[in-house]
Amino acid sequence: MTDNTFDKDSKSVGINHPGDLLNEDPLAWLPRMANKLYTMWLMWTYPFASFGKGTWAHYSSHVARSAAPHISIGKNVAIARDVRLDVRGTNGNGSPLFIVEEGCGLQRRGVYSARNRIHLMRNVICAHSVLVMDHSGEVGDDPGARKQETVGGSIRIEEECWIGFGTVIICEQGELVIGRHSVVGANSVVRRSIPPYSVVAGDPARIVKQYDFSKGKWVLGCVRPPAGATTAL
């Protein structure tokens, strides 16, 4: 859904070829330097649970310093413009609530709000304007009462997934797992687990395509039932 280039030199200006850097607008170097400085600032002064090498954060991305101890970021992660990493609350045993593993790309304007646990495994692509929340607002009986957040569940997005533009992933209870190498289409709403090797789309997200191992190709429709779907709904 977004640019496929996550290599270091192509950030934020969309360079196709390394040689193009020399032809780039001199003004484009200013934000580039700002990104570099901001990334170093994050790496050295924020108390992250971990912050891998080669990780790059846009200067307008937002992480609160108080949230940093609960966030673990792996190597070569790209955090683009206006991305917000939000941690609400803590968990007792001190393990991080928001884990981004090696090679993930968090594209522009994504909002990630963890109350229990959000785990992005290796090489996940989250496209623009994604919302990932492992809790939600409570719907009470009393319409006038101040709304609390629900306790929520946990979200795990497994290796190599591609989460499309504008997708909303919300887990209200239990564990929501998006299986390995799955694709979530643009503007989908995901509220329950998705089996591995699937393409889903729509609101609510339904399986459009799955990889059929017996035939060795992608086929339309549902081949395997959603395994490990523990969430209601």
Partner 1 sequence: MLRSVRVTSASLDDHEGFFSRVLTKLNSLWLAATYPFAGVGRSLSAHYASEISRTLAPHIRLGNHVEIGRHTWFHTWSIPTIEDKNALKIIVEDGSRIGPRCTISAANSIHLEREVVLGSDILVMDHAHAYEDINIPIKDQGATPGGRIRIGEGCRIGQGAAILCSNKGELVLGRNCIVAPGAVVARSFPPNSVLSGNPARIVQSPGVKQAGGDEKSGERSEVDLANIEVTLHDR
**Total residues at the site for partner 1 (CB under 8 A)?**
47
Does 81 contact partner 1 by CB under 8 A? yes
Among residues 111, 201, 222, 229, the one that binds partner 1 under rule CB under 8 A: 201
18: which residues sit within 8 A by CB, 6+ positions away? 9
Residue 162 makes contact with partner 1 by CB under 8 A = yes
CA-based R_g, the chain, Å: 19
Q: Which span sits near partner 1 by CB under 8 A: 11-19, 83-91, 112-120, 140-148?
A: 11-19
Counting contacts by CB under 8 A, is residue 16 touching partner 1? Answer: yes
Q: Which amino acid is at 92?
A: G
Q: Retrieve residue 219's tokens.
A: 């086929």
Identify the burial level of 60 via C-beta atoms within 10 angstroms of its C-beta, where 0-12 means exposed, 13-18 middle and 19 or more buried: middle
- Cis amide leading into 204 (omega within 30): yes
The number of beta carbons lying within 10 Å of the beta carbon of residue 127 is 22
Which window, 134-142, 144-152, 155-163, 169-177, contacts partner 1 (CB under 8 A)?
A: 155-163
Question: Interface with partner 1 by CB under 8 A: which residues?
Answer: 1-6, 12-16, 20, 23-25, 27-28, 81-82, 103, 105, 108-109, 122-123, 125, 128-129, 159-162, 165-166, 181, 183, 185-188, 197, 199, 201-203, 211, 218
